[in-house]
Chains A and B, each alone.
Chain A
Amino acid sequence: MSKFTEDDLKKELETKEYEYGFYTDIESDTFPIGLNEDVVRAISKKKNEPQWMTDWRVDAFRIWSEMEEPEWANVNYTKPDFQAISYYSAPKKADPNKSLDDVDPELLATFEKLGISLDEQKKLSGVAVDVVVDSVSVATTFKKTLNEKGIIFCSISEAIQEHPELVKKYIGSIVPKTDNFYAALNSAVFTDGSFCYIPKGVRCPMELSTYFRINQGGTGQFERTLLVADKGSYVSYLEGCTAPSRDENQLHAAVVELIALDDAEIKYSTVQNWFPGNKEGKGGVFNFVTKRGLCETNAKISWTQVETGSAVTWKYPSCILKGANSVGEFYSIAVTNNFQQADTGTKMIHLGKNSKSTIISKGISAGKSQNSYRGLVQISPRAENARNFSQCDSLLMGNECGAHTFPYIEAKNKTAIIEHEATTSKIGEDQIFYCNQRGIDTEKAIALIVNGFSKEVLNKLPMEFAVEAQKLLEISLEGSVG
């Protein structure tokens, strides 16, 4: 390549279509659009849920109906019409008891296109996958291996049927129904999601993984993840999301609850590349997610996320550091391009003594996108010797995008040590010149610099994901750097 100018790069990026934008023609069992108490009851009935769960959902629906949609985030979008969404869409042939071999071959082909062939994963990567397509879990792999260790890893609907005592105890304990508008909505209408329980002292031998994908048009995805790590256990959990291209905006309002009991450790990694809308900013997914984890004594929760998709992202994976010596970590790369908007960050609530938190957030904005970091570090009066380190760096590419930082730091204890720093800059001409001078062309130089910029976070991803994440960064950013 002789001359690859900034304009060429931009052009290439703009014309780059969403690679995962295909639509699988699977017969779906879809509810008519609209939401009322009957729909909530119908979902519950459809899923054959016990009475307590139905009541819980209806209660959440009543709370939701009285709430107003929040407006404080630094994003602009047309509010979704909640009556124009179908709240249940299941691939028709889904049957909870079937084995992997029975899965609709067309669906399997979808996964293959996504590069997550179950077969392949099963054999090669040793990753157990709980696949959610349009809200209903289709196949769960490696169940047997996990069963031997006493690990429960299944869809949440299955868990409601088979482990009601665990679900009842923990669901809504970290993200209550009343928490916020979208959490309440999710509590009322969630159709599926994953449930995971790691027993005392067990170290989960493999990475657990869920792949979410929005398929049916006009459906919202409301999945619910509940992950409980009992005393002294360890689990690493991966979550990946893609959605086909669609013109209308699709709503994704998930809730993730993590519970790390004493001495437990949870590592939760997300790669999110929901359809971001096309280059005119049309379509794309609204990603309004509530993620929160609770750390008991000596427990550790680590959130790692690579966000490259969604038209509007609005999420704050948080840690409540309740126990003494608990640790919360947040590593994030958020990439926005074209008309994408992201308002993301974390909350670290220090309640326990000697609790520690680390926040590393890297924002990359290109095109006409807006990328915001919004975070809270709160040290309660009893959290002695609490320690926080936060670093938020933004990289701007092109002069039509924006990068914003809204950190909230609240300290109520004199022994707290908090450091926060943020920088915003573009890729320096001198850096590129330095590379050029040594025979590295501009495009490669930019890739090198972006990679270096995000390295701290990429390093935190499990191997299987790191490769994919790097690929995603390339897809989202290739050519947008000036």
Chain B
Amino acid sequence: MELKEKLVSSFLAFEANVDTGNPIHDIRIEALKSFEAYGFPTKKLEAWKYTSLNSIIKNDFSIFPKKEVALEFRDVKKYFISDLDSYKIVFIDGVYSSHLSETTHDKIDVCLMSSALSQNRFKPVIDVYYNTVVKEDGMTALNTAFAKEGAYIYIPKNTAADKPIQIIHFSTGVDGAAMLQPRNLIVCEDNSEVTIIERHQNLSEKKVFTNSVTEMYAGNNAHIDYYKIQNDTDTSSLVDNTFTEQHNNSVCSVHTFAFGGEITRNNLNFYQKGQGIDSILNGVTILEGKTHVDHNTLVEHQEPNCESHQDYKGIFDEKSTGVFNGKIIVDQEAQKTNAFQSNNNILLSDKATVNSKPQLEIFADDVKCSHGCTIGQLDESALFYMRSRGIAIKEAKALLMYAFANNVLESVKIPQLKTRINKIIADKLGVNIGFDL
């Protein structure tokens, strides 16, 4: 049975398990109808021109977790940034693990989407924000239809989260190939601040297909820092849909570190609905094998005096494929917009491919917008310089790659996270360069 039919036919069974009296119930039914109409995206859609999900959706995924698995912290410690004092929301095969998590309701709410959707005291927030920022397409409609679990983070006015929040999704492969659909809602009221780290990790060799939707709302002067670590096994695929709505003088940054996974698709959307806003989109992609990463970004400038900065670096080896599809829209009202977009790529192998499509759509005249895109190689003379000074070629190459990605790596504000990312890169390149960047 096709995955689409399977999903549609299991919807009734899914609904039976959740509270049908809830207003979310209607949203789900509508979303399922939309998904039936849209289906999975195909290469015929301009936005999916370079990424095909066909190889994934032909698999037979189990849609609901059947068995619960308990993991011991010591076994999965390495996937946490364990030296960082943080809140943790951990899911195993889509089910919340209270054992590994650390949540709070003290001043701020860091808890589960399932409780937020069912308990009355969260209703005012859910009513206002849930399913409002997301834009509907096949993948997001599917998520909305089946959404019941994920992270719920609410930071009230004039509050800063006292420590970063880690969201980690483990999959164990106990049910065979599994499809996961986490749904996150992050609401930051005026003058609030939060830092979030998200990671998806497959612990088995079984196929995992994650279709995640994150809605972020940043009120006036709110600050959100979001880090996504995508270093999964090559049997895992991820479609990450992140939607951010920003209001006056808010600053939101999303940093994506894509180092692995069979197919990774990042749909990153920013809607600027106020003045003085800054949106920052950074990404480092280092791939080898047959992996495929597609960064699809959208920044919509709707009001005057805002900025956006996009900086995506990619290094592609072996048969990997990298896609960058960035779009900046500047509406007619959005005068004095500064929007910058840069996409730099290095190809290390003849079998690797880069497809880049940086787009500008500008309807206002008093703006400064630019984009740049380059594809090239490591500088031979720089390599020779280092080798003539006794640095082995592997290390020399690694140094150049670090330098290439440094702009983005520098922007990581949590030292422990920066160390971790450097370590992941060093492991990937098989070098020990003996210093912290």
Contact = CB atoms under 8 A, between A and B. Distances in A.
Interface of B is mostly: strand
A333 to B, nearest CB: 18
B126 to A, nearest CB: 38
A379 B332 CA distance: 36
A420 B372 CA distance: 5
Given A410-B355, A413-B347, A482 B365 contact: yes
B15 interface: no
Contacts of B352: 412, 414
B436 interface: no
Contact of A424 (B335, B369, B375): B369
Contacts of B377: 414-415, 417
A199 interface: no
B100 interface: no
Interface string B359-385: 111111111111111111100000000
Given A396-B362, A411-B345, A417-B375, A422 B355 contact: no
Nearest to A378: B355
B365 A396 contact: yes
A82 interface: no
Interface in B156-208: none
B350 interface: yes
Contact of B353 (A411, A417, A424, A425): A411
Given A420-B373, A421-B373, A414 B365 contact: no
A464 interface: no
B358 A411 contact: no
A249 B361 CA distance: 27
A403 B353 contact: no
B353 A405 contact: no
B10 interface: no
Interface string A379-417: 101000000000000101111111111111111111111
A420 B357 CA distance: 10
B355 A408 contact: yes
Nearest to B375: A418
B364 A418 contact: no
Contacts of B349: 414
Nearest to B345: A411
B359 A424 contact: no
Nearest to A410: B355
Nearest to A74: B361
Contacts of A406: 357, 359
A72 interface: yes
B335 A407 contact: no
A414 B359 contact: no
B75 interface: no
B437 to A, nearest CB: 25
A446 to B, nearest CB: 14
Contacts of B357: 406-409
A203 to B, nearest CB: 36
A416 B362 contact: no
Interface residues of A, number: 36
Contact of A409 (B351, B369, B373): B373
B375 A409 contact: yes
A423 B369 contact: yes
A401 B349 CA distance: 43
B374 A398 contact: no
A388 to B, nearest CB: 9
B372 A402 contact: no
A410 B345 CA distance: 11
B46 A72 contact: yes
A424 B351 CA distance: 35
Contact of A407 (B353, B359, B366, B369): B359
A417 B349 CA distance: 13
Interface in A418-472: 418-426
A410 B359 contact: no
A396 B353 CA distance: 35
A421 B351 CA distance: 25
Contacts of B370: 421-424
B399 interface: no
B354 interface: yes
A72 B367 CA distance: 27
Nearest to B357: A408
Contacts of B355: 408-411
A419 B362 contact: no
Residue of A72, A408, A424 most packed against chain B (CB within 10 A):
A424
Contacts of B350: 381, 412-414
Nearest to A388: B375
Contacts of A411: 345, 347, 353-355, 375
B302 interface: no
A402 B347 contact: no
A99 B335 CA distance: 59
A72 B348 CA distance: 34
A418 B343 CA distance: 11
A412 B353 contact: yes
B356 interface: yes
Interface string B289-301: 0000000000000
Contact of A425 (B356, B367, B373): B367
Nearest to A420: B373
Nearest to A423: B370
Contacts of B335: 399
A415 B357 CA distance: 20
A18 to B, nearest CB: 25
A404 B376 contact: no
Given A409-B355, A409-B356, A418 B362 contact: no
A459 B243 CA distance: 46
A202 to B, nearest CB: 39
A414 B347 CA distance: 5
Contacts of A420: 356, 358, 371-374
A208 B359 CA distance: 37
Residue of B363, B367, B370, B375 most packed against chain A (CB within 10 A):
B375
B362 A402 contact: yes
B162 to A, nearest CB: 42
A71 B238 CA distance: 31
Given A381-B350, A399-B332, A414-B350, A425 B363 contact: no
A47 to B, nearest CB: 40
Nearest to B333: A399
Given A404-B361, A405-B358, 15 more contacts: A379-B375, A399-B335, A399-B364, A402-B363, A404-B359, A408-B356, A409-B354, A409-B375, A411-B355, A420-B358, A422-B358, A422-B360, A422-B371, A424-B362, A482-B365
Q: Which 10 residue pairs across A and B have the least CB separation, nearest first?
A: A396-B365, A418-B375, A414-B347, A409-B356, A420-B373, A423-B370, A424-B369, A405-B360, A421-B372, A402-B363
Interface of B: 46, 332, 335, 345, 347-377
16 contacts: A381-B350, A394-B362, A399-B364, A405-B359, A407-B356, A407-B358, A410-B353, A410-B355, A411-B345, A411-B355, A416-B347, A420-B372, A421-B371, A422-B360, A425-B368, A426-B365
